[in-house]
């Protein structure tokens, strides 16, 4: 009786390789290069979720939602000194249908709250929200009749970046932390809080 | 055509008809040949023949739009690509500044004006602080005056750079954005060196400056003023003679001088229409009377002339900054804030020894200094034009009424006059050239 | 200071004969509570619960400010575009609800300034072609900058307001 070999071949895992389909074929060029018995060790195996999360995190496209002073600092992270294209935010899409991330930068007045919610609803899931600046996080210095006291009253916020206005590096740190959050598997804020998205 | 401030024309000759009551009732335009729509000057209405036409489409350039102005909503009636009706809706950034400032002491209220016009933050702080000083009768020391001039001119550069970067971006010259923001970051570095914050510094105080100028500032600023003219040459080399830029900005959005004055325009828009008016020359405040600079005036009043005015102003601002630096280097070691202890915080070393300083410090921080009763209207030339602050004080520690006259607030309705007969692509160029900042418009 | 009835004539004369062809600003000011004492010299209360966070500890003024003729003042800031920039302030005093004639026919720039004065203070301008709300929502009730309108906002946590 032949001894049971350790599973090293693809067919031992239940996968078909082209050798089964073409019985007379020898090892392919790739296998020859990697080593006939080392193919399974050398390849990276991962779950689909992790791969998807990795790609989501590293290609977040923000939506142009600059309202006030923080918008100017947000524009400066697009500029060459604090470049966020190197973090994957290659373009700022102006259409919410094409954007993943809504960076609410600036004070949100009550009149603007309705368009903000409309834009947020138009974004496709999964979507994340960064409340940039003190005014978006909690109305900042404007505790009055005209300003919505924190944008988390109408949308679910993932990351709050404080400051008035926050330095561009702070916003980049916020985006990097969001990327880490996504890669770690934390669902977007509307899932966490159980609210409508 | 460039004219310096010694040009012939200051105010346009009055061509207005003698007012008869029908003009006052809005039944006739203010003068013959005007492009200002009537009866409502800020709304371009549909002409009668198109009112029931099915070809007219109303499009909403909503508060959130790809161009980078901020939250301006334009409701535009389009006949094909041509604009036949225009109405601007604002208020999406209304923050209630004036009411909030009435609830804070004078000292705390200085943090608010910077956020109104967030591109030229020092200019807003300056106008409020000048108003307080005028009511108090307080005179800041010369070092503070010169440093304020320098920072205001740096702010003018900052504002024009952001304007140029974003307007060019909207018209399509995308690479200007990156060039302009490179210099803008240098200016903000200087600002951070002096005040500790990139934007919205609370550096101007009633009586002078909040703190002394650090030692490394003069060299850094000198490097910047040496580099800046070459940078402006770069920008001009990119777009000034570019055929596409000329096509898209020449002859677009023409505003005559009489219309500009009637519409209350000021700043680059007025100067591009041929009216030689700059408050820094006509009614000098701060140290502008002692600084040598020219004021660019162009005559056509189109988008291209406004762009040329901005570029020339950038060069002149660099000149002013260099001259202020020269004066400031001689003034090192002088006081940077006035001596009046009832208004100005005493230096911290004194608090350990002098009881009176402690009491002054306590009163100023808790209750706030009192500003004598009165009302005052102070105007400066901000990068956008005439920025004014009307302050009413009742003698107490808090302002009674603060009103900011924002130049963008009067520039936005001018879009209705300028966009008559324009195409959609021109609308973007025109609204960009008006240099509106929505924080100012909505306050 | 000018009476509302004479305003148009005065402005026309200022513009045509004196040469003040530039209207810089129209400001409306509410003087409700102008002379009240220590309760809050600015007349109204700072937060939504009615407590004033910055109430001065002591009044200590030797004299209260002079009384104003009526509740609202509308100030027109005019400018002459000549060397030296001479400025002029024309003030009109009105009560609540009293209308002021609109100067849109004289200086078209007054359009939005007057709309803002109407929106924020509730001063109606007679003859204005388009007197609707400009800064607040179209269906907002109340005139926010009046002294009897609360500042609004939320109570700050861990402060004495809760």
Q: Which chains sit next to A, with 3 or more Cβ pairs under 8 A?
A: B, C
C-alpha span between A88 and B425 (Å, rounded): 31
C-alpha span between B194 and B32 (Å, rounded): 53
Q: Which residue of C has its CA nearest to B390?
A: C27
- Among C53, C136, C156, the residue to mutate for chain A (most A Cβ within 10 A): C136
Q: How far apart are the first and last CA of chain C?
A: 45
Q: What would the 3-class secondary structure string for chain A be?
A: CCCCCCCCCHHHHCCCCHHHHCCCCCCCHHHHHHCCCCHHHHCCCCCHHHHHHHHHHCCCCEECCECCHHHHHHHHHHCCCCCCHHHCCCCCECCHHHCCEEEEECCCEHHHHHHHHHHHHHCCCCCEEEEEHHHHHHCCCCCCCCECCCHHHCCCCCEEECCCCCCHHHHHHHHHHHHHHHHHCCCCHHHHHCCCC
**Whether B200 and A67 lie within 8 Å, measured CB to CB:** no
**Whether A144 and C153 lie within 8 Å, measured CB to CB:** yes
pLDDT of residue B274: 85
Average pLDDT of the residues of chain B = 83
ipTM, two decimals, is 0.83
**Whether C151 and A149 lie within 8 Å, measured CB to CB:** no
Pick from B41, B261, B367: CB nearest C111: B41
* Pair of tokens at residue B20: 């008869």
- Beta carbons within 8 Å of C113's beta carbon, 6+ residues apart: B409, B410, C23, C25, C26
Nearest to B416 by CA among B28, B84, B180: B84
Average pLDDT of the residues of chain A = 80
Q: Which chains sit next to B, with 3 or more Cβ pairs under 8 A?
A: A, C
* Pair of tokens at residue B50: 């198109």
Return the axis-axis angle of helices A69-78 and B175-195, rounded to nearest 10°. Answer: 120
Tens of pLDDT, residues A41-65:
666 666 777 888 888 888 888 887 8
Q: How far is C149 from chain A (nearest CA, A)?
A: 10
Q: Which residue of C has its CA nearest to A111?
A: C137
| Residue that is written with structure tokens 């000018």 in the block | C2
pLDDT of residue A1: 45
Tens of pLDDT, residues C85-104:
788 888 888 888 788 888 88
Find chain A residues with C-beta within 8 A of C154's C-beta. 139, 143, 149
> Could you read off the pLDDT tens digit of each residue along chain B, which spans 443 residues?
344 444 334 444 444 444 555 555 555 566 666 677 766 777 777 777 777 777 888 888 878 777 667 788 888 888 888 888 888 888 888 888 888 888 888 888 899 998 898 888 999 999 999 999 888 888 889 999 999 999 999 999 999 999 999 888 888 888 888 899 999 999 999 999 998 888 888 899 888 888 888 888 999 999 999 999 999 998 888 888 888 888 888 888 888 888 888 888 888 998 888 888 888 888 888 888 888 888 888 888 889 999 999 999 999 999 999 999 998 888 887 888 877 777 788 777 777 888 888 887 887 787 777 787 788 899 999 999 889 999 988 777 888 889 999 999 988 888 888 888 888 888 888 888 888 888 888 88
Please say whether the beta carbons of B383 and B144 come within 8 A. no
**Whether B63 and A115 lie within 8 Å, measured CB to CB:** yes
pLDDT of residue B129: 92
- Beta carbons within 8 Å of B367's beta carbon, 6+ residues apart: B105, B397, C56, C57, C58
pLDDT of residue B155: 92
* Pair of tokens at residue B209: 């400056």
Contact status of B112 with chain A (Cβ, < 8 Å): yes
Pick from B16, B25, B42: CB nearest C111: B42
Is pLDDT at C79 greater than 80 in this prediction? yes
Local structure of B34: helix, strand or coil = coil
Q: How far is C97 from chain B (nearest CA, A)?
A: 20
- Among B75, B264, B284, the residue to mutate for chain C (most C Cβ within 10 A): B264
Q: Which helix (H) or strand (E) holds B22?
A: helix B21-24
pLDDT of residue B63: 83
Find chain B residues with C-beta within 8 A of C104's C-beta. 26, 41
C-alpha span between A106 and B302 (Å, rounded): 32
Is pLDDT at A136 greater than 70 in this prediction? yes
Find chain B residues with C-beta within 8 A of A141's C-beta. 100, 111-112
pTM: 0.84
* Pair of tokens at residue B373: 């009763």
Interval C105-114 mean pLDDT:
84
Other Cβ atoms less than 10 A from the Cβ of B127: the count is 24
Distances from the Cα of B353 to the Cαs of B23, B183, B358, B361, B362, in angstroms?
Answer: 69, 46, 9, 13, 15
Distances from the Cα of A160 to the Cαs of A57, A93, A150, A165, B64, in angstroms?
Answer: 17, 21, 10, 13, 21
Measured in whole angstroms, the distance separating CA B119 from the mean position of its chain's CA atoms is 8
* Pair of tokens at residue A162: 């404080």
Tens of pLDDT, residues B149-191:
999 999 999 999 999 998 888 888 888 888 999 999 999 999 9
* Pair of tokens at residue C15: 């513009």
Find chain A residues with C-beta within 8 A of C144's C-beta. 145-146
Pick from C137, C149, C154: CB nearest A143: C154
- Among A112, A140, A143, A148, the residue to mutate for chain C (most C Cβ within 10 A): A143
**Whether B103 and C29 lie within 8 Å, measured CB to CB:** no
C-alpha span between A179 and A184 (Å, rounded): 9
Measured in whole angstroms, the distance separating CA C43 from the mean position of its chain's CA atoms is 15
Pick from B66, B200, B439: CB nearest A164: B200
**Whether C56 and B396 lie within 8 Å, measured CB to CB:** yes
Tens of pLDDT, residues C43-52:
333 333 333 3
């Amino acid at each position: 009786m032949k001894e049971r070999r350790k599973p090293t071949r693809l067919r031992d895992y239940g996968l078909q390789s082209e050798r089964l389909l073409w019985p007379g074929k020898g090892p392919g060029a790739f296998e020859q290069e990697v080593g006939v018995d080392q193919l399974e060790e050398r390849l990276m195996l991962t779950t689909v979720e992790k791969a998807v999360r990795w790609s989501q995190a590293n290609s977040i496209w923000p939506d142009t939602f600059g309202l006030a002073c923080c918008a100017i600092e947000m524009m400066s992270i697009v500029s060459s000194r604090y470049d966020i294209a190197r973090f994957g935010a290659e373009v700022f899409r102006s259409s919410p249908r094409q954007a993943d991330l809504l960076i609410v930068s600036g004070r949100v007045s009550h009149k603007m709250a309705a368009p903000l919610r409309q834009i947020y609803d138009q974004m496709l899931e999964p979507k994340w929200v960064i409340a940039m600046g003190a005014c978006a996080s909690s109305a900042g210095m404007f505790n009055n009749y005209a300003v919505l006291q924190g944008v988390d009253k109408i949308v679910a916020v993932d990351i709050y970046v404080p400051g008035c206005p926050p330095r561009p590096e702070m916003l980049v740190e916020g985006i990097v932390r969001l990327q880490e959050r996504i890669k770690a598997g934390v669902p977007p804020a509307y899932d966490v809080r159980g609210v409508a998205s | 055509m460039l004219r310096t401030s010694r040009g012939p024309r200051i105010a346009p000759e009055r061509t207005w008809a003698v007012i008869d009551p029908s003009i006052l009732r809005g039944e006739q335009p203010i003068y013959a040949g005007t492009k200002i729509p009537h009866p409502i000057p800020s709304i371009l209405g549909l002409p009668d023949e198109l009112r029931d036409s099915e070809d007219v489409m109303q499009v909403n350039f909503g508060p959130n739009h790809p161009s980078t102005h901020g939250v301006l909503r334009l409701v535009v009636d389009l006949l094909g690509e041509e604009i036949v009706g225009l109405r601007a809706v604002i208020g999406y950034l209304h923050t209630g500044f004036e009411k909030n400032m009435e609830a804070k002491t004078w000292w705390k209220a200085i943090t608010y004006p910077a956020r109104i016009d967030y591109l030229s933050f020092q200019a807003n702080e300056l106008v409020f602080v000048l108003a307080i000083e005028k009511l108090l009768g307080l005179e800041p020391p010369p070092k503070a005056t010169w440093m304020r001039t320098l920072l205001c001119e740096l702010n003018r550069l900052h504002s024009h750079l952001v304007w140029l970067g974003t307007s060019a971006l909207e018209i399509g010259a995308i690479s200007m954005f990156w060039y302009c923001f490179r210099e803008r970051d240098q200016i903000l570095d200087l600002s951070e060196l002096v005040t500790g914050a990139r934007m919205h510094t609370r550096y101007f105080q009633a009586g002078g400056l909040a703190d002394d100028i650090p030692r490394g500032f003069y060299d850094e600023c000198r490097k910047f003023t040496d580099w800046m003219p070459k940078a402006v040459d770069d920008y001009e080399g990119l777009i000034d003679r570019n055929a596409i830029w000329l096509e898209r900005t020449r002859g677009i959005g023409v505003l005559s001088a009489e219309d500009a004055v009637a519409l209350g325009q000021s700043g680059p828009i007025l100067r591009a229409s041929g009216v030689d008016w700059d408050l820094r020359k006509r009614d000098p405040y701060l140290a502008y009377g002692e600084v040598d600079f020219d004021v660019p005036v162009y005559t056509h009043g189109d988008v291209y002339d406004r762009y040329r005015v901005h570029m020339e102003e950038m060069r002149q601002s660099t000149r002013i900054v260099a001259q202020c630096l020269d004066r400031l280097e001689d003034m090192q070691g002088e006081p940077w804030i006035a001596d009046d202890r009832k208004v100005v915080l005493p230096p911290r070393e004194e608090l350990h020894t002098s009881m009176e300083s402690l009491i002054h410090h306590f009163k100023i921080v808790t209750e706030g200094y009192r500003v004598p009763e009165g009302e005052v209207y102070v105007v400066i030339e901000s990068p956008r034009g005439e920025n004014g602050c009307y302050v009413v004080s009742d003698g107490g520690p808090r302002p009674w009424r603060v009103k900011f006259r924002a130049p963008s607030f009067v520039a936005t309705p001018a879009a209705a006059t300028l966009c008559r007969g324009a195409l959609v692509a021109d609308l973007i160029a025109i609204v960009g050239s008006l240099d509106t900042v929505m924080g100012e418009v909505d306050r | 200071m000018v009476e509302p009835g004479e305003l148009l004539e005065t402005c026309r004369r200022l513009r045509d004969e004196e040469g003040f062809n530039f209207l810089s600003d129209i400001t409306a000011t509410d003087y409700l509570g102008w002379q009240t004492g220590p309760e809050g010299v600015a007349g109204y209360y700072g937060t939504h619960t009615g407590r004033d966070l910055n109430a001065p500890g002591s009044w200590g003024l030797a004299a209260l400010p002079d009384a104003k003729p009526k509740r609202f003042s509308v100030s027109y800031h005019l400018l002459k575009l000549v060397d030296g920039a001479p400025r002029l302030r024309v003030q009109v005093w009105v009560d609540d609800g009293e209308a002021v004639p609109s100067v849109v026919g004289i200086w078209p720039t007054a359009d939005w300034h007057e709309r803002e004065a109407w929106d924020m203070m509730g001063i109606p301008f007679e003859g204005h072609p388009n007197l609707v709300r400009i800064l607040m929502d179209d269906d907002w009730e109340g005139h926010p900058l009046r002294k009897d309108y609360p500042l609004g906002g939320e109570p700050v946590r861990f402060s004495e307001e809760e």
